[in-house]
C-alpha cells in the first residue's frame, strides 16, 4: 500500500467520488443478500406450505431488488470511472510537467520508448485500479463479512464446518500476489524495451534503409518481442498453477456443505429452504474469493505501474533554482559572459573541461574550434545551466548564473543546434516558438535574415505549411535556416551558433553570415564551427583539445602560430590564394 500512499495527492482531493463508489458498491452487494432469503421463503413458506398467493409479491420484490441493485451498480460505475479518469488526467499532467524540468543528466540515460510506456500503459493500469480495483477488493471483504455473519446466524455449526478450506483459499491468494508482482514488473520492462525498439526504428528508418539493415532490425525486434512473449507466458503459467488450486478448494468447500447440510436436513435440524439459502450464501462468499485472483492481478499491475511512475515523479532534479534566485529583466542584461576556472565532468566520464577560463565582453564574438569531444558543446551547455559545474563559476554581467532563475537566464540566450529539430506544426509556429507574442512582420524579418523567406514562400501554403515529424519534407539546409530564424526572433542578448551553417552550401553560408553581421551587433555571440570561414571574424577564437584551451587569439594571430588552428586552415584552404600569402608571412616571421 506504500505506492498508493505516495500517489495519494492525485486521488484524495476527489475522495468523495471514491467514497461514493465504495458506498454504492456496498449497497449493491448488501442487496445481494436478499436473494437467498427469498429462496428460503419460496421453498419453505410458499411451496411447502402451498401459500401460492405470495408468488406475485415475491416476483415484485425480486424486480424491485434488481432495479435498486442496478441503480447502485450504475452509480458505482459512474463514480469509479470519473475518479479513475480524473486521477489519470492529474497524473499525466504531473508526469509531463516533471519531464519538462528534469535535467539533461536524466535524459542522457532515459529511453523515449520507456517514457512513452510509463505515460500510457502504466497510467492506464493505475486508472483501472483506483477507479474500480480498490473498491472491488474492498467489496470482497465486505461480501465475505456480510455472508459469514448471515450464515453464522442461520447455523453456526454448518458454517464452521464449511469454512474449513477458507484459510487455504486466503493463503493461496496471498501466495499468488508475491509471485506475480515480479512477473508484472518484468512485463512492464519488456514492454518498454519493445516500445523503444519500435520508436528508434521509425525515427531511424532512413538510416535503416540506406544501409539495407531491414533484416537486422526485424531480428532485433523479434528478440524484444520474444522477451515480451516470454514474460507473459511465465506469468500465464503462474496463473495456470493458481486457478486449479482455487477451483479444488472451492469444490471441496461446496462438497462439505452438501454432505453436512444434507445430513442436517435428514435428521430434521435444517429445512430444505435453509439448505438452499445456505448453498446460495456459500457461493456468495466463494465467488469473490475465487475472483480475488483477478483483483490481485489488477492490484499487482497497478503496483508495478505505480512504482514505475513514482520513479519519474520522485526523480531528483539536479539543476534547479536556488530559493533566493533572482529573475533577470531583459533591459538590465548587457550579455557579458565569464568562465572562471571552470572544471566539469559528465557522470562516469573524464573531465570535459579543466580549469577553463573565458572572458566575453558584451557584444563580443567568440569562436570555439576543436575536434569531437574537445569540450566545445560543453561550454554552451554549462552556459545554459544544462548541468551543474563541479568547480569554478560562470558569470553573466558579474552575477553567478547559479543565483539567477533558470527560465529568465535561458530567455536571454538563443541557440541554433547542430542537429536541427522542428515540431510537427506550421513553419510559422516553429519560427515563433521562442516567444509568446510575435507579429507576422517579425517572423518574416527573422526569416529574411536567416535566408529562409524565399524558399518558404515557394511552399504550397507559405508560412502556414505544416512540416512533417522532425521537419520531414524539408532539406537539411532548409530546416537549419528555419531554426536560425527561430533563434533570431527571440532578439537575444546572447546568441549561440552550434555549427549552425553546417547543413548549408558555401554560397548560402556566405549569405547567412552577411545577415549575422548585422544581427550580432550589440549581442554576445558564441560560434561553434568546423569551418574557419565561420570563425575568422570572431573577436577571439579558442582552440580546445580534451577540455583545455590549447590556443587562443584572433584569426590573423593564430595563423602566425604553429598548431591545430593553422593545420585546420591548411586543410580547408590549401588550394586558396590566401593560403600562399599566409604561408609566406609565417616563413618571413620565422
Q: Quick one: cell of 174?
A: 496471498
The CA angle 462-467-470, to the nearest 5 degrees, is 150
Identify the domain boundary among 491, 519, 554: 491
Regarding whether 439 and 306 lie in a shared domain, the answer is no
Question: Is residue 551 one of the residues assigned to a domain?
Answer: no
**Same domain flag for 66 and 215:** yes
The secondary structure of 388-453 as a DSSP string is: --SEEEEEETTEEGGGB-HHHHHHTEEEE-SS----SSBHHHHHGGG-SS--HHHHHHHHHHTT-H
Rounded distance, CA 538 to CA 554, Å? 7
User: Do 22 and 31 form a contact (C-beta atoms < 8 A)?
Assistant: no
End-to-end alpha carbon distance in the chain: 79
The pTM of the full predicted model, rounded to 2 decimals, is 0.74
The answer to whether the beta carbons of residues 117 and 192 sit under 8 Å apart is yes
Whether residue 448 lies inside any domain: the answer is yes
Range of the domain at 152: 2-313
Q: Which three cell numbers stand for residue 425?
A: 506544426
Beta strands at 494-498 and 413-416: parallel, antiparallel or unpaired: parallel
**552: β partners:** 542
Q: Where are the alpha helices (DSSP H) in 102-133?
A: 104-107, 112-117, 123-128
> Which residues, 6+ apart, have CB-to-CB distance to 144 below 8 Å?
285, 288, 289
* 168 falls within a domain: yes
Cβ-based neighbours of 27, under 8 Å, separated by 6 or more: 72
From first to last of its 590 residues, the chain has per-residue pLDDT tens of 688 888 888 888 888 998 999 889 888 888 888 878 888 888 877 877 778 788 888 888 888 888 998 999 899 989 988 998 899 899 989 988 888 888 888 887 877 777 888 888 888 888 888 888 888 888 888 888 888 888 888 888 888 888 887 788 777 777 776 777 677 778 878 887 887 787 777 767 767 766 677 787 888 888 888 888 888 888 888 777 777 777 787 778 888 888 888 888 888 878 888 888 888 888 777 777 766 766 777 787 788 888 888 888 888 888 888 888 899 888 888 889 999 999 998 877 778 898 899 999 998 999 998 888 888 888 988 998 988 888 899 999 989 999 999 888 988 888 887 777 788 888 898 888 877 788 888 889 888 887 888 888 988 888 888 887 666 678 777 887 888 888 888 888 898 888 766 656 666 666 666 656 666 777 899 988 877 877 888 899 999 988 899 989 998 888 888 888 888 888 877 666 555 555 555 555 55
Which of 491, 520, 549 lies at the terminal end of a domain, its last residue? 491
Number of domains making up the chain: 2
Domain match, 441 and 308 both: no
CATH of the domain at 442: 3.40.50.300
The DSSP call for residue 316 is -
Whether 307 and 428 share a structural domain: no
Partners of 488 in the β-ladder: none
Rounded CA-CA distance 502/507 in Å is 12
- φ, ψ dihedrals at 360, nearest 5°: -115, 100
| Residue 11 half-sphere exposure toward CB, CA atoms < 13 A | 27
Number of residues written out for the chain = 590
Question: Do residues 67 and 197 both lie within one domain?
Answer: yes
Q: Which residue has cell 435428514? A: 266
pLDDT at 323: 85
Beta pairing partners, 540 = 366
Q: Is 232 inside any structural domain?
A: yes
Q: What is the per-residue pLDDT for 336?
A: 92
Calpha distance 374→94 (Å, rounded): 38
Q: Based on the domain organization, do 300 and 444 belong to the same domain? A: no
Determine, yes or no, domain membership for 283. yes
Strand bridging mode 391-396 / 337-345: antiparallel
pLDDT score of 366:
92
Between the alpha carbon of residue 582 and those of residues 492, 543, 552, 557, 577, the distances in Å are 36, 19, 18, 11, 9
Considering only CA atoms, which of 40, 188, 60, 69 is closest in space to residue 118? 188
How far CA 387 is from CA of 64, 106, 479, in Å, comes to 67, 10, 27
Are 485 and 452 in contact by the 8 Å Cβ rule? The answer is: yes
CA-derived radius of gyration, the chain: 36
| DSSP secondary structure of 61-101 | HHHHHHHHHHHHHHHHHHHHHHHHHHHHHHHHHHHHHHHHH
Both 428 and 304 in a single domain?
A: no
Question: Is there a domain that residue 542 lies in?
Answer: no
Q: For position 6, what pLDDT does the model report?
A: 86
Contact 515, 445 (CB under 8 A): no
CATH number of the domain bearing residue 113:
1.20.1560.10
Residue ending a domain, choose from 466, 491, 516 = 491
Q: CA 18 to CA 134: how far, in whole Å?
A: 9
d(CA 369, CA 549): 10
- Is 400 within the bounds of a domain? no
pLDDT on residue 471? 61
Q: Are strands 391-396 and 494-498 parallel, antiparallel or unpaired?
A: unpaired
Q: Is there a domain that residue 513 lies in? A: no
Looking at residue 116, what is its pLDDT?
82
Q: Is 495 strand, coil or helix? A: strand
Closest alpha carbon to 288 in 179, 146, 159, 149: 146
Q: Are 4 and 135 in contact (CB under 8 A)?
A: no
- 303 and 424 part of one domain: no
Other C-beta atoms closer than 10 Å to the C-beta of 584 total 10
Q: Which residue has the cell 526504428?
A: 201
Contact criterion met (CB below 8 Å) for 463 and 385: no
Q: In 3D, which of 299, 349, 328, 322 has the Cα closest to residue 398?
A: 328
Could you give the 3-state DSSP secondary structure of residue 367?
A: strand
Closest CA to 390 of 402, 380, 399: 402
Amino acid at each position: 500500500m506504500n505506492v498508493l500512499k505516495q500517489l495519494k495527492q492525485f486521488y484524495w482531493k476527489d475522495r468523495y467520488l471514491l467514497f461514493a463508489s465504495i458506498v454504492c458498491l456496498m449497497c449493491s452487494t448488501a442487496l445481494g443478500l436478499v436473494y437467498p432469503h427469498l429462496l428460503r421463503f419460496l421453498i419453505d413458506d410458499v411451496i411447502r406450505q402451498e401459500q401460492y398467493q405470495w408468488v406475485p409479491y415475491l416476483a415484485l420484490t425480486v424486480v424491485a431488488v434488481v432495479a435498486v441493485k442496478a441503480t447502485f451498480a450504475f452509480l458505482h460505475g459512474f463514480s469509479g470511472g470519473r475518479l479513475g479518469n480524473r486521477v489519470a488526467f492529474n497524473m499525466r499532467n504531473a508526469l509531463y510537467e516533471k519531464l519538462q524540468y528534469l535535467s539533461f543528466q536524466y535524459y542522457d540515460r532515459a529511453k523515449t520508448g520507456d517514457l512513452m510506456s510509463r505515460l500510457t500503459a502504466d497510467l492506464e493500469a493505475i486508472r483501472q485500479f483506483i477507479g474500480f480495483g480498490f473498491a472491488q477488493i474492498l467489496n470482497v471483504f465486505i461480501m465475505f463479512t456480510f455472508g459469514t455473519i448471515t450464515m453464522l446466524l442461520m447455523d453456526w455449526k454448518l458454517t464452521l464446518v464449511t469454512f474449513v478450506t477458507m484459510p487455504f483459499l486466503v493463503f493461496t491468494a496471498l501466495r499468488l500476489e508475491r509471485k506475480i508482482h515480479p512477473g508484472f514488473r518484468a512485463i512492464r520492462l519488456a514492454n518498454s524495451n519493445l516500445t523503444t525498439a519500435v520508436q528508434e526504428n521509425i525515427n531511424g528508418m532512413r538510416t535503416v534503409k540506406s544501409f539495407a539493415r531491414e533484416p537486422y532490425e526485424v531480428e532485433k525486434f523479434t528478440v524484444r518481442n520474444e522477451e515480451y512473449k516470454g514474460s507473459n507466458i511465465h506469468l500465464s503459467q503462474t496463473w495456470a498453477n493458481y486457478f486449479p488450486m482455487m477451483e479444488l478448494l472451492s469444490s471441496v468447500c461446496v462438497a462439505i456443505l452438501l454432505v453436512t447440510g444434507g445430513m442436517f436436513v435428514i435428521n430434521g435440524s435444517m429445512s430444505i429452504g435453509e439448505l438452499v439459502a445456505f448453498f446460495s450464501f456459500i457461493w456468495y462468499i466463494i465467488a469473490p474469493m475465487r475472483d480475488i485472483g483477478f483483483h490481485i492481478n489488477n492490484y499487482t499491475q497497478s503496483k508495478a505501474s505505480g512504482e514505475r511512475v513514482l520513479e519519474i515523479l520522485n526523480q531528483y532534479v539536479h539543476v534547479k533554482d536556488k530559493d533566493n534566485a533572482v529573475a533577470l529583466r531583459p533591459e538590465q542584461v548587457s550579455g557579458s559572459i565569464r568562465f572562471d576556472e571552470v572544471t566539469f565532468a559528465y557522470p562516469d566520464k573524464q573531465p570535459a573541461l579543466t580549469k577553463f577560463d573565458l572572458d566575453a565582453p558584451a557584444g563580443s564574438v567568440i569562436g570555439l574550434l576543436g575536434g569531437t569531444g574537445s569540450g566545445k558543446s560543453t561550454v554552451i551547455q554549462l552556459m545554459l545551466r544544462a548541468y551543474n559545474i563541479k568547480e569554478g563559476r560562470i558569470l553573466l554581467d558579474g552575477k553567478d548564473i547559479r543565483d539567477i532563475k533558470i527560465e529568465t537566464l535561458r530567455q536571454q540566450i538563443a541557440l541554433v543546434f547542430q542537429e536541427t529539430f522542428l515540431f510537427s506544426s506550421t513553419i510559422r509556429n516553429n519560427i515563433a516558438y521562442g516567444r509568446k507574442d510575435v507579429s507576422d512582420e517579425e517572423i518574416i524579418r527573422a526569416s529574411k535574415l536567416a535566408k529562409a523567406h524565399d524558399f518558404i514562400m515557394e511552399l504550397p501554403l507559405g508560412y502556414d505549411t505544416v512540416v512533417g515529424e522532425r521537419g520531414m519534407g524539408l532539406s537539411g539546409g532548409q530546416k537549419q535556416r528555419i531554426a536560425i530564424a527561430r533563434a533570431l526572433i527571440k532578439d537575444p542578448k546572447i546568441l549561440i551558433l552550434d555549427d549552425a551553417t553546417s547543413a548549408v552550401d558555401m554560397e548560402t553560408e556566405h549569405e547567412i553570415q552577411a545577415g549575422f553581421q548585422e544581427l550580432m551587433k550589440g549581442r554576445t555571440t558564441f560560434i561553434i564551427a568546423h569551418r574557419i570561414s565561420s570563425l575568422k571574424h570572431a573577436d577571439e577564437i579558442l582552440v580546445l583539445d580534451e577540455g583545455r584551451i590549447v590556443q587562443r587569439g584572433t584569426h590573423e594571430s593564430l595563423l602566425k602560430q604553429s598548431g591545430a588552428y593553422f593545420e585546420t586552415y591548411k586543410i580547408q584552404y590549401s588550394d586558396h590564394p590566401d593560403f600562399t600569402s599566409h604561408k609566406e608571412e609565417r616563413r618571413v616571421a620565422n
